[in-house]
Structure 1
């Protein structure tokens, strides 16, 4: 039954106090294959920065490493945003960091739940995954044309299908079992994203502020981890996030490895 769940229609979204960046071009779908795919097609056709694609459900929601993001109708937040930061590709790790920060802070402040970031940008509550973030982009000769920032948050889900690396959860499960307003979560998320995005682009000490906050919210730093980076399987202690936004891994021999992207398969 879904009749008791609010919709995130254009009319509802227009009443939210959204940052100007995200309120001028909103594309809404009751159901679609993937918001990231739609946003990418729009970006390829010249859609401007801040274009927001939102769906009530996705038939083939995209997770990292080709996984599916379960997207039942009216239960979660499924959004993709077109970004055109006009910088080189070295900015990408920091887009990953700020998206994790914005999502974790949204959950903490809106719900009072202790959300943590599993590197690079999965959001966990009590070791269970509540949100995933996927960043895709177009790079031509080292120049970043655009990025698609896709965010999925399990809000009112009560059950999950399939097998998962991390046990899934939802805000409703972790809070008190009552139905949660998705529009409030969306509103705060977009405000947070704009704040951290402009801090990254415009403030001289923006990267230092981002690194400090990310480390405060990290679920990964200080732990023994196993991660997949390309074809390599690496093991060591996650000791830092460096000035490039890379994870710094220290193996048993003391050798340091800087990892720009990858997937943690184990933390302990």
Structure 2
């Protein structure tokens, strides 16, 4: 099992988890968009304007570059127009030209662009925090698994919001690996061997609960939930949490839950 996993999937190594990057961007957002340590009220009012000054955007861009995220990061306003982004995002899509106060460019592979815009829309419409995974081809046509996180920030004294999105590829998959998935009965056997907490985590993932909400629900820390989730994925031979959702749907459809 171990050998087949690494001959079919090329996993990418990071020094920090996506959750660590999310905490870094949360602190950056708090510094620049809220609280006593943020900018003056005049600067906040400027951010709420339909046309933000290029000088202000340049400042935010330089500041975002300084936090050295391992994930591609970008901010959008309530219209889902790009505000600033980091160098990692440019590196992920070297052929794409990102622009201030413009939508996510159409040169971004269509499936990736569609999923990112959906996440942006969810955040700007009211989701305070989202985290999801998806599979799509990258610019070179490779099948790639991606992790995404989104954070909502409400502007003080205005009705406007800013959405910060994080994106990173986590693995590349060979075409042949698509035919090597465990059967439904094999997955059911593994699922039945999970302890009560792990099964509760699976069910919470399937209902769309965030990592923080799951941690509160099962009485563990966020980090403990993340570790358990990774082990669950490994035992089920899955690469993304969305596969847990699909498994539970299939088990329920076949009256196996």
TM-score with structure 1 length normalisation? Answer: 0.27
Larger Rg: 2
Query: Which has the larger helix fraction?
Result: 2
Query: Which has the larger strand fraction?
Result: 1
TM-score with structure 2 length normalisation? Answer: 0.28
